[in-house]
């Protein structure tokens, strides 16, 4: 491992989707604290402004880019803005995601299926499609996709969510092989339950659950690896079962 100093990511550009709250906000703050300029993406401006303010309070740099990852034109607009204004992208964290844990699949309305799959899977495709060419041009980059242990296991009453994350894992492993020759490392992080607004986490003790910062720490580990190594997947569990 290279030594992880305070400014290990100095002059790097990091785009983080879903950066308005929860895991994405923690990841953006962590990358900014390591010196990266964070581009904060989500659909709603207010929470992005809160994340940007938290970053600037600690001396970091952040830009806000309203973006809906399910809308190809919205994603392309942000990518064009990043290229025009910042000139490059070093780190893309595909974190934006939605859950639906309302019951068995046969009772799920098609609109809900579309919302989950379009955000958690199609959205990642749109973002990689828009940003990978910029990384290929400079011959380096990290793409980190926030999946879930639900992408490894069965999840009754969350089948569409599980399908989106199993799909995301397959997408990530395949694109990792496509891009490694360009010196771009595509990795997935599969956390267990994290204490955020994504779901009510009924019956779990929040004090034992993973915290957003734990996932941010895993992202920091991946983007500060020595150049010749490639950790492609992290399964992240809380020490104590919640």
Q: Catalytic residue positions?
A: 161
Closest by Cα among 161, 230, 152 to 191: 152
68 touches ligand NDP by CB under 6 A: yes
Rounded to whole angstroms, the Cα distance separating 162 from 108 reads 14
Which residue stretch of 28-36, 66-74, 175-183, 220-228 sits at the interface with ligand NDP (rule: CB under 6 A)? 66-74
| Of 100, 96, 135, residue with least CA distance to 119 | 96
Binding ligand NDP (rule: CB under 6 A), the pick from 21, 37, 142, 185 is 21
Q: 């994603």: which residue's tokens?
A: 75
The reply to whether 116 sits near ligand NDP by the rule CB under 6 A is: no
Please identify which residue in 55, 82, 92, 98 interacts with ligand NDP, judged by CB under 6 A.
98
Sheet holding 13-17, edge to edge: 61-66, 37-42, 13-17, 91-94, 141-146, 184-191, 233-236
CA 91 to chain centre: 10
40 or 184, CB closer to ligand NDP?
40
Q: Would you say 41 and 17 are in contact if contact means Cβ atoms under 8 Å apart?
A: yes
Binding residue for ligand NDP (CB under 6 A) from 36, 38, 196, 219? 196
Q: For the CB of residue 209, give the shortest distance to ligand NDP in the complex, in Å.
A: 8
Residues 162-191 that bind ligand NDP (CB under 6 A): 191
Minimal distance, residue 150 CB to ligand NDP, in Å: 7
Question: Radius of gyration of the chain from Cα atoms?
Answer: 17
Task: Pick the binder of ligand NDP from 42, 65, 163, 175 (CB under 6 A).
Answer: 42
Distance between CA atoms of 18 and 71, rounded to whole angstroms?
14
Which residues of the chain form contacts with ligand NDP (CB under 6 A)?
A: 17-18, 20-24, 41-44, 47, 67-70, 95-98, 119, 123, 146, 148, 191, 193-194, 196-198
């Amino acid at each position: 491992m290279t030594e992880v100093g305070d400014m290990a990511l100095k002059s790097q550009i990091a785009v983080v989707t879903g950066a308005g709250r929860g895991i994405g906000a923690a990841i953006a703050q962590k990358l900014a604290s390591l010196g990266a300029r964070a581009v904060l993406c989500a659909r709603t401006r207010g929470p992005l402004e809160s994340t940007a303010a938290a970053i600037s309070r600690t001396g970091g740099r952040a830009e806000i880019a309203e973006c809906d990852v399910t809308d190809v034109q919205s994603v392309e607009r942000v990518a064009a803005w990043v290229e025009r204004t910042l000139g490059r992208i070093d780190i893309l964290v595909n974190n934006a995601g939605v859950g639906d844990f309302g019951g068995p699949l046969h009772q799920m309305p098609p609109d809900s299926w579309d919302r989950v799959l379009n955000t958690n899977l199609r959205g990642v495709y749109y973002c990689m499609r828009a940003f990978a060419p910029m990384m290929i041009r400079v011959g380096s980059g990290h793409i980190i996709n926030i999946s879930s242990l639900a992408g490894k296991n069965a999840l009754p009453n969350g089948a569409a969510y599980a399908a989106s994350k199993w799909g995301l894992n397959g997408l990530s492993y395949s694109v990792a092989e496509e891009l490694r020759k360009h010196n771009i490392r595509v990795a997935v992080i599969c956390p267990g339950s994290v204490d955020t607004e994504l779901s009510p986490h009924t019956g779990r003790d929040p004090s034992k659950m993973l915290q957003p910062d734990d996932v941010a720490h895993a992202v920091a580990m991946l983007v500060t690896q020595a150049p010749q190594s490639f950790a492609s997947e992290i399964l992240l569990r809380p020490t104590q079962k919640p």
